[in-house]
Amino acid sequence: MLLAPQMAKKFRPFSYERSARALQENVTRAGPAATASYTLVGGIILLGGIGYAVDSWQGTSPWFLLAGLATGIVVGFYELVKTTWRK
């Protein structure tokens, strides 16, 4: 069975340079999405932690924790949407 010329793949030897270049391109393209996801998780953890600390200090459990978590979710999703809708 003969293969059509467009279907035959040319053999290219393995190249570390080509692999490193492809990895760098993938990392560069994934950068904004990774930043947005880290901002989402970090905002929830940081603001939730601040709310927990204020609750422990003031004895108002769980109100500042809930407010911190809600604020972290809002800020995180705002950054996520801002990053994904960027042209």
Structural domain count, the chain: 1
Q: What is the pLDDT along the chain (87 residues), one digit of tens a residue?
A: 555 555 556 666 778 888 899 999 998 888 888 888 898 999 999 999 999 999 999 999 899 999 999 999 999 899 888 887 876
Spatial CA neighbour of 66 closest among 42, 47, 39: 47
CA 23/CA 42 separation, integer angstroms: 26
**pTM summary value:** 0.66
What is the extent of the structural domain holding 75? 32-84
Q: Does residue 49 sit within a domain?
A: yes
Instruction: Give the pLDDT confidence score for residue 84 in this predicted structure.
Output: 79
Q: Does residue 2 sit within a domain?
A: no
